[in-house]
């Protein structure tokens, strides 16, 4: 079991909230300040490495700007869960080797909550009051990409046997 | 076996199946300054050659001309970078990347197109599979010549009904987004859209519709080619016979959408909150914006000119018009539309994304309200104010009255 802080956010959290456009920058220190700033300025300032982010439906809808995924990497986020992800955002996360998984149905926590959870290493998060959330592993292709550390790290593996 | 259009295009681009995903080739790869600049460092670190430089189209449209010193530096880095990529098709400053892509004679039906921007899906209006990707995906495709995807389930989407005054592709797009956007989005789905309306949507309206498939959450959106498509293609010198789905092709699901009979407006904070323009109370605006890859084409500028011609933009309202490409700009000048708009008090700016991405000229301030032909109104997207989305006729009518207005009410 490992302990983590988990941050609960609601449905339709778009890329402009995940990373407001005015934080678009090639400078990492400026870029990472924008992380979740459209959702909560407090969280933008306080989220530490090892955090778990739990969204709802259509997480990451909107822009293809990869900075919106890169900031999860910059800030050392361990795991991102959602009921559904917007396609490009999901790919961007996978391509950068950031673990993203889907869960089914509802979870017991509220938008805006910041909670302490134990990760049992088995696709399950448990809070001290015993409320929990289980999630599904991604498809095997996606698992391989994430395990390799991302898409670019997978090039040689994917094409070693290609024509 | 009968195949739908997605299956045919995938079959003709398939390298191989890898686990539960496909590796495919592509015909064009689109770059622009904002997302392209993110590629520079990783591309140099990767130190691999381009797989197919001739397939790369490099636009510059987001920071054009740049509004801040930082953006000027980003733009310059991107221009320097793309000028070193030998053999690519560089097209800086010619307009919004998605528009210059569909204007390119080599871009046509049956193709697989990827781009470093979510609205790349717009090129599906020509009967091709097109999708936006992030920078790492694009970098991977630049150096390998392939991309990866799960085989998408396909929805057959039929547009029915007939056109009504002032109803454009944007209204159809908003009607569909209201139906399937937000939490109802099916992010893995591809759509094959059959235009069965009497009168048929114009090509400009189809681009506007396909562009907003990004807001529907679609993975791909194809307008099944017909005479409107072939005429557009022929006019730009592309005579490729369009690939069509087989008559008895199977689809995972179907959806029918009737042409709206009144202008629609999307209410912030998300594109899928849609109401009839005539049902809105008096919503006072500070800015009316006609532009972007969704709403800056000749049809939109012609609509704007027709509504404001001989009239005056309301006091304290800025009407900002930004043609989607230099080619459209020139056509609008020749047709007299630009003069009509300027004489009515409108501000016309050079082709670029303008305020659409919230990053350049024309953004709105705190407490301000904009009605725009662009595609997104998420909080912060176009500046700190509120943005309503609608067709050019609604935007132009609103510019005249200073409140969001159904264009049928302008005499
Ligand atoms: S016009 Fe807007 S939506 Fe289109 S490419 Fe530019 S920023 Fe993106």
With an 8 Å Cβ cutoff, are B380 and A38 in contact? Answer: yes
Q: CB of A74 within 8 Å of any CB in chain B?
A: no
pTM of the model: 0.94
Tens of pLDDT, residues A71-92:
999 999 999 999 999 999 999 9
Interface of B with A in 89-128 (CB under 8 A): 116-118
ipTM: 0.90
Predicted local confidence at residue A27, as pLDDT: 87
Distance CA B411, CA B399 (A): 14
CB atoms within 10 A of CB B54: 11
Distance CA A28, CA B398 (A): 41
Give the CA dihedral B40, B44, B45, B48, nearest 10 degrees.
120
- pLDDT exceeds cutoff 90 at A143: yes
Q: CB of B51 within 8 Å of any CB in chain A?
A: no
A-chain residues near B18 (CB < 8 A): 141, 158
Beta bridge partners, A80, equal A53, A100
Predicted local confidence at residue B82, as pLDDT: 98
For residue B288, give the nearest of B261, B269, B307, B271 by alpha carbon: B307
- pLDDT exceeds cutoff 90 at A22: no
- pLDDT exceeds cutoff 90 at A5: yes
Tens of pLDDT, residues A96-121:
999 999 999 988 999 999 999 999 87
Q: Tell whether ligand 1 has an atom less than 6 A from the beta carbon of residue B120.
A: no
A-chain residues near B132 (CB < 8 A): 64, 88
Q: Tell whether ligand 1 has an atom less than 6 A from the beta carbon of residue B375.
A: yes
Rounded to an integer, the average pLDDT of A6-34 is: 91
B-chain residues near A140 (CB < 8 A): 19-20
In chain B, which stretches have pLDDT less than 50?
none
Give me the percent of chain A exceeding a pLDDT of 90: 82
- Give Cβ neighbours of residue B241 (< 8 Å, ≥ 6 apart): none
- pLDDT exceeds cutoff 70 at A163: no
- Using DSSP bridges, classify how beta strands A114-119 and A2-8 pair: parallel, antiparallel or unpaired: antiparallel
Predicted local confidence at residue A161, as pLDDT: 56
With an 8 Å Cβ cutoff, are A38 and B379 in contact? Answer: yes
């Amino acid at each position: 079991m490992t302990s983590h802080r988990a941050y609960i956010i609601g449905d339709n959290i778009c890329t402009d909230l995940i990373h407001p456009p005015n934080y678009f920058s090639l400078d990492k220190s400026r870029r990472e300040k924008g992380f979740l700033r459209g959702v909560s300025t407090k969280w933008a300032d306080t989220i530490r490495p090892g955090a778990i982010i739990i969204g709802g439906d259509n997480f990451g809808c909107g822009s293809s700007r990869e900075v919106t995924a890169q900031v999860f990497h910059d800030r050392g986020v361990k795991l991102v869960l959602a009921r559904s992800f917007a396609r490009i955002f999901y790919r961007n996360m996978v391509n950068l080797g950031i673990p993203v998984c889907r869960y089914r149905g509802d979870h017991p926590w509220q938008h805006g909550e910041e909670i302490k959870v134990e990760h049992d290493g088995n696709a399950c998060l448990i809070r001290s009051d015993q409320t929990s959330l289980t999630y599904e592993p991604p498809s095997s292709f996606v698992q391989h990409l994430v395990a390799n550390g991302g898409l670019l790290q997978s090039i040689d593996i994917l094409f070693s046997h290609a024509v | 076996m009968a195949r739908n259009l997605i299956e045919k295009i995938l079959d003709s681009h398939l390298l191989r199946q890898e686990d539960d995903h496909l590796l495919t080739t592509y015909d064009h790869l689109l770059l622009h300054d904002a997302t392209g600049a993110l590629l520079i460092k990783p591309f140099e670190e990767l130190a691999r050659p381009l797989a197919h430089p001739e397939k790369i189209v490099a636009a510059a449209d987001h920071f054009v001309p740049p509004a801040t010193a930082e953006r000027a530096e980003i733009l310059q880095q991107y221009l320097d970078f793309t000028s070193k990529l030998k053999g690519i098709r560089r097209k800086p400053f010619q307009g919004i990347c998605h528009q210059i892509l569909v204007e390119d004679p080599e871009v046509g039906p049956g193709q697989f197109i990827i781009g470093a921007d979510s609205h790349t899906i717009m090129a599906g209006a020509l009967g091709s599979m097109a999708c936006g990707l992030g920078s790492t995906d694009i970098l991977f495709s630049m150096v390998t010549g392939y991309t990866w995807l799960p085989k998408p389930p396909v929805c057959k989407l039929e547009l029915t009904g007939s056109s009504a005054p002032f109803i454009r592709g944007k209204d159809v797009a908003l009607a569909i987004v209201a139906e399937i956007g937000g939490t109802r989005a099916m992010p893995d789905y591809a759509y094959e859209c059959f235009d069965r309306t009497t009168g048929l949507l114009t090509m400009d309206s189809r681009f506007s519709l396909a562009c907003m498939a990004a807001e529907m959450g679609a993975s791909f959106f194809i307008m099944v080619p017909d005479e409107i498509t072939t005429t557009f293609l022929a006019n730009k010198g592309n005579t490729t016979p369009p690939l069509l789905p087989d008559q008895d092709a199977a689809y995972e699901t179907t959806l029918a959408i009737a042409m709206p009979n009144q202008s629609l407006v999307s209410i912030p904070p998300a594109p899928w909150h849609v109401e009839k323009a005539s049902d809105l109370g008096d919503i006072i605006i500070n800015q009316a914006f006609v532009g972007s890859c969704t709403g800056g084409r000749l049809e939109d500028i012609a609509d704007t000119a027709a509504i404001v011609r001989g009239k005056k933009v309301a006091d304290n309202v800025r009407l900002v018009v930004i043609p989607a490409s230099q080619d459209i700009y020139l056509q609008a000048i020749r047709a007299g539309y630009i003069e009509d708009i300027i004489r009515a008090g409108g501000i016309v700016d050079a082709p670029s994304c303008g305020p659409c991405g919230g990053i350049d000229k024309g953004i709105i301030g705190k407490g301000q309200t904009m009605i725009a032909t662009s595609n997104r109104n998420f909080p912060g997207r176009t500046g700190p104010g509120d943005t309503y989305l609608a067709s050019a006729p609604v935007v132009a009518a609103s510019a005249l009255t200073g409140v969001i207005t159904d264009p049928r009410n302008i005499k």
